[in-house]
A = this chain, B = another copy of it.
Amino acid sequence: MKKRVLPLSRVYQLLEPGPVVLITTARGGKANIMTQSWHTMMEFEPPLVGCVISGRNHSFNILRATRECVINIPTQDLAKQVVGCGNTSGSMVDKFRRFGLTAAPASLVEAPLITECYANLECRVADTRLVNKYNFFILEVGKAWIDSSQKDPRTLHHRGKGAFMVAGKTVKLPSRMK
């Protein structure tokens, strides 16, 4: 999948619709993946993303220690991998190997990009004030990659208990909103 750099000012267009994401972290040369949906944009540029990562997840301690991760955005063709990564723990399983995903080096962080995802956002932790109470990390996106051949990406949107809404068509409305 050929990707180009996406201007940071456009990152919000990827996360604002609420897709399920795969968050990669790495420590000591060992990478992990977790499935995640509780995230929101918090600022346009530099893009800030708030996200909840439960202390029960293997990724929590890695993210807290390394302060780096990649937000990878999968589409419908990766549904099996999305569910698989959500149902297993990185403390037991090498998820890249188990689910046939490819790790590619990022440019700013040690955590890898998932090649099969149509977009990848390299992030550093910017604020941990709400981590103790809510497991809420504020991330700053430093570099964004996109496969720009995908115009209407069929992202997955979690409705709970295995139900996922698949992104439908995009309509254009006469909005002056950014």
Contact = CB atoms under 8 A, between A and B. Distances in A.
> Oligomeric state, in number of copies?
2
A159 B164 CA distance: 19
A175 B172 CA distance: 34
Interface string A7-19: 0001011001111
Contacts of A13: 159-161, 163
B16 A17 contact: no
Contacts of A18: 16-19, 157
A40 B18 CA distance: 9
A171 B75 CA distance: 13
Interface stretch (A25-33, A90-98, A114-122, A130-138): A130-138
Interface residues of A, number: 57
B83 A173 contact: yes
Contacts of A159: 13, 16-17, 170
Interface in A38-61: 38-43, 48, 50-52
Contacts of A133: 127
Given A18-B18, A167-B157, A86 B162 contact: no
23 contacts: A16-B37, A16-B38, A16-B159, A17-B18, A17-B37, A17-B159, A40-B51, A41-B52, A42-B136, A76-B171, A79-B171, A80-B173, A83-B175, A86-B175, A87-B175, A157-B167, A162-B172, A162-B173, A162-B177, A163-B171, A164-B170, A164-B173, A168-B168
Given A13-B163, A39-B40, A42-B134, 6 more contacts: A40-B52, A50-B136, A79-B171, A159-B170, A163-B170, A165-B168
